[in-house]
């Protein structure tokens, strides 16, 4: 075996495995899988989006920040372009977002993939794009998760003739078992494989700027200046393990450090899915959520803040906003050399726009409160904020685990549960992904019932009758896709909550 991949669809995971079989490493696998995700999971991610990666390579751990910049460098004094409000129905609740050309931030995926390939990769980009090109031409099967996201985002997609044609080619929305085609994207990916600057100064950049001309702050200068940044990841000690998380622009990494420190102040619960751990997580998560106010987000970008914050919360280790839907996806890869990549990327809810005839769907990050809070206007050319938190765990037994999730504010919750189940209770990767989760948002407790005893749920109902109960896998809790490598080989699991898949190569 050469490695393993866990991702949000079978096609995405298989593309990463294909790169491993072709002689690539974990980084090549992550790149090929990311490119495929833009075809197999096109409403969650793509060339028009952005994200973060955490990479363990040669025993060192890095973060690759390829999140979006605030546009407007050509005219920093310009006011943001107008955006349109769209309401999305999530069943028990409805939420509004801002979309349209003015909601687009500068895409970061092209710069990120190029930086990862240049620094760590083995295979050329023109090779890594091939599975995604073939799938865009031959078609990608629509998964239940794909169908659900298409249904949710239809009020945005229906605004555009091009997007309606892509996702309702016969007048009916695509459903599970149907096939999604995008030959325009195939031609674009081929051009990107040949020219790494295609979306910086080449034809892709020109198509994006031309399509958005006069309706956005994005200029050719913004695209040219968008760069990925590779730096050391942040190590967080938890019991006998080290959890590596990204720093700014991720607001989630230091939040996880805070929560783990609060949990380590007591011994692990005897029952990993019982009422006691629900209560401890409720308390710890509530404290962490309360951090995400204006002072914290402002200080997040201050030099030295991450190190000092993590140092403070690590001293706690021993005793004595509304939830956005999270249209994000994640990929985890490992190889036989012990390298690992955890990479999370997103389009937001999409702006409802495609870049000319490229097939590239454009993000709406400026229309997301978590990413672009109105009380914290980011300067032109600076990074926006993200909840992406691709993580790597070095366990006490020597195993290396790459894990992460989509799901906006539920991303750190999903990562935390994976870490706690594996570190505190010795669960396998598969058990940790499938284990029940607890989440706190807007002061409300959200709890999954599957995997818990009836007695636990009855006691919780008696004590907290207003908690929100989830029966069965639900995409609300994100999609924790995780893989590991160790002396016993590879293991992994793709989260059923988001149609996940696991493939060994």
Looking up residue 422, the CATH number of its domain turns out to be 3.60.20
- Which of 338, 367, 396 lies at the terminal end of a domain, its last residue? 367
Structural domain for 285, as ranges: 231-326+388-478
Task: Give the model's pLDDT for residue 418.
Answer: 97
| Angstrom distance (rounded) from CA 231 to CA 333 | 19
Which has more confidence, 79 or 165?
Answer: 165
| Angstrom distance (rounded) from CA 286 to CA 18 | 42
Would residue 45 count as lying in a domain? yes
Would residue 61 count as lying in a domain? no
pLDDT one-digit tens code per residue, 237-246 = 999 999 999 9
Examine the domain organization and report whether 212 and 249 are in the same domain: no
Q: Are 61 and 54 in contact (CB under 8 A)?
A: yes
Would residue 417 count as lying in a domain? yes
> Hey, which residues does 469 pair with through a beta bridge?
447
> Hey, which residues does 476 pair with through a beta bridge?
none
Examine the domain organization and report whether 84 and 98 are in the same domain: yes
State the catalytic residue, choosing from 63, 127, 328, 329: 328
Total number of domains constituting the chain: 2
Counting Cβ atoms within 10 Å, is residue 25 exposed (0-12), middle (13-18) or buried (19+)? buried
Would residue 379 count as lying in a domain? no
Six-digit token string for 288:
């962490």
Residue 486 scores a pLDDT above 80? yes
Examine the domain organization and report whether 342 and 464 are in the same domain: no
Half-sphere exposure of 10 (CA within 13 A, CB side): 5
Examine the domain organization and report whether 310 and 416 are in the same domain: yes
402 CB-near residues (< 8 Å, 6+ apart): 26, 54, 56, 332, 333, 334, 340, 341, 342, 390, 391, 392, 482, 483, 484
Half-sphere exposure of 172 (CA within 13 A, CB side): 5
In this structure, are strands 328-335 and 241-245 parallel, antiparallel, or unpaired?
Answer: unpaired
Examine the domain organization and report whether 28 and 129 are in the same domain: yes
Give Cα 81 to chain centroid, integer Å: 26
Task: Give the model's pLDDT for residue 179.
Answer: 98
pLDDT one-digit tens code per residue, 199-222 = 999 999 999 999 998 899 999 999
pTM: 0.94
3-class state of residue 365 by DSSP: helix
Would residue 494 count as lying in a domain? no
Q: Which of 348, 252, 274 is nearest to 54 (CA)?
A: 252
Which has more confidence, 294 or 196?
Answer: 196
Residue 321 pLDDT level (bands cut at 50, 70, 90): very low
Examine the domain organization and report whether 404 and 262 are in the same domain: yes
Q: Is 54 a catalytic residue?
A: no
Would residue 493 count as lying in a domain? no
Element (H, E) at 261: helix 253-264
pLDDT one-digit tens code per residue, 397-425 = 999 999 999 887 889 999 999 999 999 99
Task: Give the model's pLDDT for residue 323.
Answer: 47
Would residue 144 count as lying in a domain? yes
Examine the domain organization and report whether 435 and 354 are in the same domain: no
| Angstrom distance (rounded) from CA 274 to CA 270 | 9
Task: Give the model's pLDDT for residue 318.
Answer: 53
Examine the domain organization and report whether 45 and 94 are in the same domain: yes
Examine the domain organization and report whether 258 and 341 are in the same domain: no
Q: Are 39 and 182 in contact (CB under 8 A)?
A: yes
Q: How many CB atoms lie within 10 A of CB 462?
A: 8
pLDDT one-digit tens code per residue, 444-477 = 899 999 999 999 999 999 999 999 999 988 888 8
């Amino acid at each position: 075996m050469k490695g393993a991949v866990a991702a949000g669809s079978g096609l995405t995971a298989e593309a990463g495995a294909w790169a491993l079989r072709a002689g690539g490493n974990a980084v090549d696998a992550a790149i090929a899988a990311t490119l495929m995700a833009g075809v197999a999971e096109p409403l969650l991610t793509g060339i028009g989006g952005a994200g973060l990666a955490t990479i363990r390579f040669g025993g060192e751990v890095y973060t690759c920040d390829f999140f979006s910049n605030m546009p407007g460098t050509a005219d920093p004094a310009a006011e943001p372009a107008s955006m349109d409000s769209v309401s999305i129905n999530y069943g028990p609740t409805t939420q509004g977002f801002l979309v349209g050309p003015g909601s687009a931030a500068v895409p970061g995926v092209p710069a990120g993939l190029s930086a990862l390939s240049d620094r760590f990769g083995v295979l050329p980009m023109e090779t890594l794009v091939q599975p995604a090109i073939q799938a865009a031409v031959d078609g990608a099967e629509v998964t239940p998760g794909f169908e659900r996201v298409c249904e949710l985002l239809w009020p945005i997609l229906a605004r555009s003739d091009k997007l309606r044609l892509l996702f309702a080619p016969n007048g009916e929305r695509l459903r599970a078992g149907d096939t999604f085609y995008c030959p325009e994207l195939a031609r674009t990916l081929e051009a990107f494989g040949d020219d790494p600057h295609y979306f910086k100064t080449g034809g892709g950049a020109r198509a994006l700027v031309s399509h958005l001309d006069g309706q956005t702050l994005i200029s050719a200068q913004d695209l040219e200046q968008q760069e990925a940044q590779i730096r050391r990841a942040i190590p967080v000690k938890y019991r006998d393990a080290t959890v590596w998380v990204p720093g700014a622009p991720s607001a989630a990494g230091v939040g996880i450090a805070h929560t783990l420190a609060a949990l380590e102040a007591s011994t692990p619960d005897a029952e990993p899915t019982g009422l006691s751990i629900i209560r401890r997580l409720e308390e710890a998560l509530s404290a962490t959520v309360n951090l995400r106010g204006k002072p914290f987000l402002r200080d997040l970008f201050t030099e030295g803040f991450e190190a000092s914050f993590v140092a403070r919360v690590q001293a706690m280790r021993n005793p004595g906003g509304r939830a956005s839907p999270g249209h994000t996806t994640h990929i985890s890869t490992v190889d036989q050399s012990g390298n690992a990549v955890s990479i999370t990327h997103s389009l937001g809810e999409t702006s409802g726009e495609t870049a000319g005839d490229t097939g590239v769907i454009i993000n709406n990050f400026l229309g997301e409160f978590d990413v672009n809070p109105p009380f914290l206007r980011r300067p032109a050319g600076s990074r926006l904020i993200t909840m992406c938190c691709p993580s790597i765990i070095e366990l006490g037994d020597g195993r290396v685990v790459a894990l992460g999730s989509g799901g906006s504010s539920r991303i750190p919750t999903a990562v935390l549960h994976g870490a706690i189940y594996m570190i505190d209770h010795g669960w396998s990767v598969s058990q940790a992904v499938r284990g029940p989760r607890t989440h706190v948002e807007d002061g409300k407790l959200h709890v999954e019932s599957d995997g818990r005893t009836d007695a636990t749920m009855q006691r919780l109902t008696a004590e907290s009758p207003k908690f929100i109960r989830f029966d069965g896998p639900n995409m609300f809790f994100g999609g924790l896709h995780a893989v590991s490598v160790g002396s016993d080989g590879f293991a992994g699991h793709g989260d059923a909550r988001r149609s996940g898949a696991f493939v060994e190569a």
